[in-house]
Amino acid sequence: MVSWVRPPAPSSVPSYPLLAVVILVKRTGQLGNRLFLFAHFLANAAEYGYELANPSFGGYAPFFEATATGNFGGLPVRLHAFRQSGLDRLLNLVQHPRAFGLLQSASRLLPRRAALLTDQAGQDYDLNQPAYLAAARSGLVLAHGWQFRDKRNFARHGALLRQLFAPIETHRLAVAALLSALRQTADVVVGVHIRRGDYATYNNGAYYYDNATYARAMRAVQEQLPASRRVVFLLCSNEELNFADFAGLRVHAATGHFVEDLYALAGCDYVVGPPSSYSMWASFYGQVPLLHLEQPNQDLRLQDFAVFLDQ
């Protein structure tokens, strides 16, 4: 069950040298991707004590406690890269990897202590590298990419990350009301992440499953639970669903708000869905066992569900 905790009140923030800051430049993917990227940098900054700015998260900032209030519990973290927030728009010019590459080529025009970092496709960039930490503490670092990772400190600072990324009160209350109503008549709540939209083309549509595929997976889960347990399936989808396709199953639609659906999944007992960082975040945040449907006819076993601990 999800417990909502506000970020701790800010304490004194240490002073940092001028232009000693790590700036996350690239807007990578949608909410799940952005949460994980920000969280890995936050965990690393919390461990090593450097200043962090993430203008790439700005579009999602109003939905979470820390980013909506600017209260990161005393950590030297902010959203705007520059004191004049309008200057953040300059980062729009280097969203494309090729444009960022041109900036790297012209790095002599930047301050002397400046590092421009990109991840390598398919490979994690370890934020514990001494060279990275030295740059983060002493100069300007522009990080462009999505596979920057600190898995060790992500796990170590998991409780802090959950505090910082608690949804704002409006969405917390909506999620709490939904889950409370479900649990009045159910012993087990199974969250089902039904993702359509961009998945029609992502990976050549490999994970663009029809309702029959989801219904088959749901029945497989229900059959493995004790018959005495009352099971309800919470359907979280980015499109309208035909409930007739889930005949014989107790189903309930989530609110349809992308933040509320995410945190409702985090409050379930199990989560199933296609490979997605969205459901991974729900599993991490709520410490809920998750199983991804890698194939439409995949065998589902309860023992294969596992809490996702990092990305």
SS3 190: strand
Residue pair 281/191 in contact (Cβ under 8 Å)? The answer is: no
Residues 231, 186: contact at Cβ < 8 Å? yes
Looking at residue 88, its pLDDT comes to: 62
Strand pairing partners for 117?
A: 143
Distance CA 146, CA 59 (A): 17
Q: Is the pLDDT of residue 252 over 90?
A: yes
Identify any residues that bridge with 53 across adjacent strands, giving them in sequence order.
23, 78
Angle formed by the axes of helices 258-266 and 31-48, to 10°?
60
Calculate mean pLDDT across residues 14-21.
55
Contact residues for 285 (Cβ-Cβ < 8 A; gap 6+): 2, 162, 165, 263, 266
Q: What is the mean pLDDT of residues 293-308?
A: 95
Judge contact between 271 and 279, C-beta under 8 A: yes
270: left (phi over 0), alpha (psi -120 to 50) or beta: beta
Task: Kindly state the tokens that stand for 141.
Answer: 């670092």
Length, in residues, of the chain: 311
Asked if 17 and 141 touch (Cβ cutoff 8 Å), the reply is no
**Model pLDDT for residues 50-68, shown as the tens digit of each residue:** 999 999 998 999 999 999 9
6 DSSP assignment = P
Tell me how many degrees the CA angle 80-28-271 measures, rounded to the nearest 5: 115
Higher pLDDT, 27 or 280: 280
- Within a 13 Å sphere around the CA of 20, how many CA atoms are in the beta-carbon half? 16
Q: What would the mean pLDDT of 204-208 be, rounded to a whole number?
A: 89
Q: Identify the H or E element spanning 116.
A: strand 114-118
Q: Residue 107 pLDDT more than 70?
A: no
Q: To the nearest whole percent, how much of the chain has pLDDT over 90?
A: 68
pLDDT at 25: 87
Strand-pair category, 306-307 with 289-292: antiparallel
**Is 150's pLDDT higher than 70?**
yes
Separation of alpha carbons 286 and 268, rounded Å: 8
Indicate left, alpha or beta for 232 from its phi (over 0: left) and psi (-120 to 50: alpha): beta
What is the structure's pLDDT at 15?
41
Is residue 290 a contact partner of residue 271, using CB atoms and an 8 Å limit?
A: yes
Mean pLDDT of the chain: 88
> Whole-angstrom Cα distance, residue 133 to residue 102?
24
The answer for residues whose C-beta is within 8 angstroms of residue 157's C-beta and 6 or more apart is 42, 43, 46, 47
